[in-house]
Amino acid sequence: MAASQLAGMKLMVWVLVLTAIRIIVKAWLYGPRSESITTIPGWHPSGWLPLYNDALDRAVAGNPYPFAIRWAVLIGQFVYLLLDLAIWAHKLVAIARMAGYNIFRNMYRPLEATSVADFYNRFHWYFKEMLVTFFFFPTYLRYFRKWPRMRIFFATLVAVGWGNFIYHFLHYDRSIYEHGLWKALVNYHAYGVYTLLLALGIGVSQIRSHGAKRQEWSGLRRVVGLMSVLLFFLLISVIDEGMNIRSIADYWVYWKSLFIP
């Protein structure tokens, strides 16, 4: 009990550190455009990056920001996705640990990942476990029993693709109340594309590692491996999850602009 509570207190201190970093860096990067409601008295930076939705709107309108800004905006959004999820999840885990339940951390050293599947496992562990329990295992135990690689790949597509999509679609259920089920599904099609790309990436990653001898990466190989993993997640993060209803064509415009100076 004491060890669990001490671990929870340490994690809560880490949450405070991450929160302070988020407030300072967001104010410095985005200035008054920052989404943070917390301000630092006497400090009013102008900011030097637009928000992602602003950059996306300009790209769709045919007046995109300079090439370097487009990449900086996307990287900033991705970093803060990781940071916000870490802060939110660490709070919950810290509370549980201080109550005596020494549970696993939800996000654990994602920058030590060596593959796309490994990063997703470290990025949002409890959500991944939910997908595994309700979608992966039922599919894995029923289909393609004679083809091990296809069995894993198909179960991954169902879990990360369909399971992920239906969870978030029902989470943002206000659209269903306002537009009806079919119109809400059509409006949310962009996130369906995101989950499909994510499922394909994780599925291919699992197939490559299936039956392969586990090796510890080090040095340049480890850096290159991590950069390729982060690049994959960065590029698919162009398709922004959330309440905004956009066409996949809008995200395609921004995605193309990342490769056209």
Domain boundary among 98, 119, 144: 98
In whole angstroms, what is the distance from residue 124 CA to residue 126 CA?
A: 6
Structure tokens at 199: 């499922």
Q: State the average pLDDT over residues 23-47.
A: 74
In whole angstroms, what is the distance from residue 111 CA to residue 78 CA?
A: 13
Q: State the average pLDDT over residues 51-78.
A: 90
DSSP 240: -
**pLDDT over 90 (residue 244):** no
Q: State the average pLDDT over residues 140-160.
A: 89
Residues 171 and 54 in one domain: no
Residue 38 domain boundaries: 2-98
Residues 64 and 119 in one domain: no
What pLDDT is stored for residue 23 in this prediction?
A: 85
The average confidence (pLDDT) of the chain is 86
In whole angstroms, what is the distance from residue 193 CA to residue 201 CA?
A: 12
Is residue 104 in a domain? no
Is residue 103 in a domain? no
Q: Which of 23-27, 103-107, 210-214 is modeled with the greatest confidence?
A: 103-107
Alpha-carbon distances, residue 150 vs 5, 156, 199, 201 (angstroms): 44, 10, 13, 14
**pLDDT over 80 (residue 251):** yes
